[in-house]
């Protein structure tokens, strides 16, 4: 993707932010973003989401970091991406599908000219939504332990057999980015390859998994004798580990914009504590509640400060080993702490008076955030994996 260029001035960034706000106001669908309920629930919603995502590409607000010949902007800077993410979150508008960004990154860096020419325009028009076919039943965050097999066919193509699970957006995605073991004698991160898999191909079966929040966000995907052509292989055979790791590192860059989720979360918590009642007394007048809310607000500010610093180092090329893992871990664990306490408080208080509708909406969002919060501690690499990475890369501790 594009090289980081001149940092825009504050006035230029403010002008860009206004442009993003105007686009959201004009084109965002009337679908309020809900944590744990990001996938469309009806064909009509899906059509609205695809149109919305395509408008963001068309306006150069997402995909702007792509090479200009593939639709990117010559004046792109990573801070533009963060502004887009922040304003979409603040507006509670639907967020673009993360897996599409990872797929585009992989195609742009490792795809053939034919793959780029064929697949990238379909992403920009949102005719293709992508999912990641990485995790498996016995290899969750440890994707080096995958067992899905790819066997080369006589015509140079491949036959894929295996099972993937916890596949976000798999039930409405058009394409999957699959990590497959193509060397049966290999182990761990050796002998892996990456394929593009059309989800309407014969032998692909998608089984939705209903979450505790009563939504379908993730899926099981069964691959039984799925035949793929030679052009479905991305990069070289056996290059899969480095390809996927490069993609996941890019994915973690996007954590910066997610600090707005922490702001929204603490805002809902304060709304409930300030305007709801326990035994006819405002909740925030309780010393214990006031103390806990203050402690969580401090945790949010600490997480925001580190993530802000992390993004600044990324944009200046001064990232330190493990920074991305700290940022991801800080965001995910803080989000869970605030959401868990918010859901607990929401169950104990009563909303009355003129503020009742706003308090009820905040309570509902806190419950949904809590139910979804554990997903953040797993997706993109579990908190346990992040701690392992920190132990090795930052603290230089031995593996055993």
Q: Is residue 87 flagged as an active site residue?
A: no
Tell the burial category of 198 from Cβ atoms under 10 Å away from its Cβ (0-12, 13-18, 19+).
middle
CA 285 to chain centre: 37
> Closest Cα partner for 218 from 132, 105, 142?
132
Q: Residue 202 to residues 164, 176, 198, 199: CA-CA distances in angstroms?
A: 16, 14, 9, 8
Pairwise CA distance, residues 77 & 294, whole Å:
35
- Specify the pLDDT at position 201: 98
Catalytic residue among 251, 295, 299, 344: 251
Mind listing the pLDDT tens digit of every residue in the chain (400 residues)? Answer: 445 568 899 999 999 999 999 999 999 999 999 999 999 999 999 999 999 999 999 999 999 999 999 999 999 998 899 899 999 999 999 999 988 888 999 999 999 999 999 999 999 999 999 999 999 998 767 788 899 999 998 888 999 999 999 999 999 999 999 999 999 888 888 999 999 999 999 999 999 999 999 999 999 999 999 999 999 999 999 999 999 887 766 665 555 567 899 999 999 999 999 999 998 888 999 999 999 999 999 999 998 888 888 777 777 778 788 777 888 888 899 999 999 999 999 999 998 877 899 999 999 999 999 999 998 888 777 888 888 888 888 888 887 6
CA gap 386, 152 in Å, rounded:
35
Which pair of tokens denotes residue 393? Answer: 């890369």
Which letter does DSSP use for residue 33 in this model? -
**pLDDT tens digits, 134-149:** 999 987 677 888 999 9
Q: What distance in Å separates the CA atoms of residue 386 and residue 193, rounded to the nearest whole number?
A: 24
pLDDT at residue 249, as a whole number = 62
What is d(CA 45, CA 344) in angstroms, rounded to the nearest whole number? 32
Alpha helices (H) along 226-286: 240-253, 259-275
Strand order in the sheet with 276-278: 281-282, 276-278, 350-351
Return the pLDDT at 388: 87
Q: What is the pTM for the complete model shown? A: 0.90
* 235 alpha-carbon distance from chain centroid: 24
How distant is the alpha carbon of residue 283 from its chain centre? 34
* Cβ atoms within 10 Å, residue 264: 18
Predicted local distance difference test score (pLDDT) of residue 120:
97
Residue 230 near residue 195 (C-beta atoms within 8 A): no
């Amino acid at each position: 993707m594009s090289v980081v260029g001149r940092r825009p001035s504050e006035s230029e960034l403010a002008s860009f932010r206004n442009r993003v706000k105007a686009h959201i106001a004009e084109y965002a669908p009337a679908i309020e973003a809900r944590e744990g309920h990001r996938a469309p629930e009806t064909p009509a919603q899906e059509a609205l989401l695809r149109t919305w995502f395509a408008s963001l590409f068309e306006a150069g607000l997402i995909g702007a970091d792509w090479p200009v010949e593939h639709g990117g902007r010559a004046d792109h800077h990573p801070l533009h991406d963060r502004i887009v993410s922040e304003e979409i979150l603040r507006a509670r508008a639907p967020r673009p599908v993360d897996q599409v960004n990872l797929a585009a990154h992989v195609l742009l860096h490792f795809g053939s000219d034919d793959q780029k020419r064929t697949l990238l325009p379909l992403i920009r028009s949102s005719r293709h939504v992508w999912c990641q076919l990485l995790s498996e039943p016995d290899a969750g965050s440890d994707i080096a332990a995958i067992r899905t097999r790819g066997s080369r066919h006589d015509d140079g193509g491949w036959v894929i057999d295996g099972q993937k699970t916890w596949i976000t957006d798999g039930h409405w995605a058009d394409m999957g980015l699959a990590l497959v073991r193509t060397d049966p004698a290999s182990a761990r991160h050796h002998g892996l390859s990456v394929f593009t898999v059309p989800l309407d191909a014969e032998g692909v079966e998608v089984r939705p998994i209903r979450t505790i929040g009563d939504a379908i966000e993730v899926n099981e995907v069964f691959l039984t004798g799925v035949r793929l052509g030679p052009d479905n292989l991305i990069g070289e055979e056996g290059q899969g580990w480095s390809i996927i790791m490069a993609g996941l590192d890019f994915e973690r860059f996007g954590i910066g914009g997610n600090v707005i989720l922490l702001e929204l979360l603490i805002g809902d918590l304060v709304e409930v504590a300030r305007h709801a009642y326990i035994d006819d007394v405002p909740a925030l007048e309780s010393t214990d509640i006031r103390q806990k809310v203050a402690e969580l607000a401090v945790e949010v500010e600490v997480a925001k400060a580190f993530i802000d610093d992390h993004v600044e180092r990324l944009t200046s090329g001064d990232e330190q080993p493990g920074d991305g893992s700290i940022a991801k871990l800080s965001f995910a664990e803080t989000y869970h702490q605030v959401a868990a306490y918010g859901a607990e408080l929401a169950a104990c208080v009563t909303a009355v008076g003129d503020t009742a509708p706003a308090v009820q909406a905040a309570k509902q969002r806190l419950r949904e955030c809590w139910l979804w919060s554990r997903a953040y501690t797993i997706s993109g690499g579990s908190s346990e994996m992040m701690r392992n990475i920190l132990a090795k890369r930052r603290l230089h501790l031995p593996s055993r």
